[in-house]
Amino acid sequence: GESVGLHLPTLSVQEGDNSIINCAYSNSASDYFIWYKQESGKGPQFIIDIRSNMDKRQGQRVTVLLNKTVKHLSLQIAATQPGDSAVYFCADPTRKNQGGKLIFGQGTELSVKP
């Protein structure tokens, strides 16, 4: 069945470095993806989204890249800060025919070393 997965369960970076978190998806019909940030003990928060008619989208210090050929997307965080430490999820909300189920990847825990 369809799934959304992540390559690495944990990522440790030095403060000030750039972080790259990867995500693979299997549903070729997926046309919209969302990245969420979840801090310890809190619900996921929307970071940035991207539609399949785009290859790249930029936000404040974050960039999402989408490669539809290999069904891969990534979240890049520039100048990573301690406040960026959290678990990051990619999600595929394009299950419109099945009640719009939101499918999450396993999550990558980002740790920022001072």
- Using CB under 8 A as the criterion, which residues of the chain lie in contact with other proteins when the complex forms? 9, 32, 34, 38, 40-46, 49, 87, 89, 91, 93, 99-104, 106-107, 109
Which lies closer to other proteins via its Cβ, residue 44 or residue 64? 44
CB of 29 to other proteins, least distance (A): 15
Residue 87's identity, in one-letter code, is V
Between 77 and 91, name the residue whose CB sits nearer to other proteins: 91
Which residue's CB is nearer to other proteins, number 10 or number 58? 10
Contact 76, 60 (CB under 8 A): no
Closest distance to other proteins from the beta carbon of 16 (Å): 25
Residue 40, class by beta-carbon neighbours within 10 Å (0-12 exposed, 13-18 middle, 19+ buried)? exposed
Closer to other proteins at the Cβ: 100 or 114?
100
HEC string of 25-82 equals ECCCCCCEEEEEEECCCCCCEEEEEEECCCCEEECCCEEEEEECCCCEEEEEECCCCH
CB of residue 45 vs other proteins: minimum separation in angstroms?
7
Residue 70 CB, nearest approach to other proteins (Å): 23
